Amino acid sequence: MHPCTFHLVILTRAFRPKVPPDIQKNVLFQLISELDGVADYHLGRERGLRKRKAKKLEAGRKGKKRKLDPPSTDAVDMDVGDDEGRQNADEGNTVDASSAPAPPVLEHITVGINQVTKKLEDYAKSFRTIISTPDPDGFEQHLQPHDTIRAIFVCRADVDPPALINHLPQLVAACNSLNYAPDADDVPKTKTLLVPLGVGAESALASAIGFRRVSVIAIHNTFPNLAGLEPFLNSVPVLNASWLLRPGVTTSGRSELEPTHIKQLRTTTPKDMRAAKEERLRRRAEAKERKRNRMTVESISIPVSKEVDFDSLDEEGRSTVLFEF
């Protein structure tokens, strides 16, 4: 069996949503404008936490110093005064923390790769465990998470390595497809969008939120002023897993699919590796047999010094001949 030539089709890349650069910039600008006050809140909390840690360390050092000194009535009075001072300081910190309430927008966003992934997984699991409960009127109603993700903004150009976010398209597609499952007929259809952002978006979002790095941020369907982002989100394609959809169910008005980008690899690898190995062993055995047959002497010719008298041969054709070597 000779090796045959065939073409191996390989996918060059997975499907990812394509968003024009101008849409990415407009979405980023609008999103940052909606996060006003979040950075001040997080930075204020961090400063307060540092102050509390510094005061705790200072109080610990003072306590060690008091243990080394001999006890006296003045020291007892000082201890009582220090305790009252620490209590007043703690009360002051509590007042400072309560005087800076969290911005309302924090209740409607999820920040971080791990947190967004967990949110998507919980949302996908909710369709597997839909519970039907009768209401007071006797009708059944489906329970669904009221706070779902509307859009996920990923700083794809800034994330290194990209493998940290490669699972997000599959999760988003699964959530969108499970939304059209047979058990979810009575559930409102909510599409989750995946929006890639350009270079520099990570630092811009980090400055707006007050963190060192922000690679992924998700907004919920209860996000304030979501209508301001909808004009830009309408141009973002919806990811779906076609193998999770019911037959005949389409998630959009258009039925065209993303063109497949492939490349062909020409190779001489045999299709059936086992048959090729057996054929190779058979040929090797035949070659050994031919070599063994060539080494077997079937007849030997020896030159003699005189001619043989064929008249002296016996009936069987044998004669005594003297050979000279």
How do the domains of the chain map onto residue ranges?
Answer: 23-36+103-264, 38-99
- State the fold for domain 23-36+103-264: 60s Ribosomal Protein L30; Chain: A; (3.30.1330)
Residues 174/124, Cβ–Cβ less than 8 Å: yes
Beta strands in the chain (DSSP E): 6-11, 109-111, 132-134, 140-142, 149-154, 193-196, 216-220, 262-267
Within 8 A by CB and 6+ apart from 86, the residues are 55, 59
pLDDT at 116 over 90: yes
Kindly report the average pLDDT of the chain as a whole number. Answer: 73
**Residue 223, exposed/middle/buried by CB under 10 A (0-12, 13-18, 19+)?**
buried
Summarize the confidence of residues 305-317 as an average pLDDT.
Answer: 54
Confidence of residue 268 (pLDDT cuts 50, 70, 90): confident
pLDDT digits (tens, 9 = 90+) for 206-257: 999 999 999 999 999 989 888 889 988 888 988 888 777 765 555 554 445 6
pLDDT digits (tens, 9 = 90+) for 58-109: 777 766 666 655 555 444 444 444 444 444 444 444 445 444 688 888 999 9
pTM beyond 0.75, yes or no: no
Within 8 A by CB and 6+ apart from 192, the residues are 120, 123, 148, 149, 150, 151, 152, 172, 175, 176
Summarize the confidence of residues 295-324 as an average pLDDT.
Answer: 54
State the pLDDT at residue 308: 53
Could you say which DSSP state residue 110 is in?
Answer: E
Helix, strand, coil percent values for the chain (each to nearest 5): 50, 10, 40
pLDDT at 309 over 60: no
Higher pLDDT, 98 or 308: 308
State the pLDDT at residue 258: 62
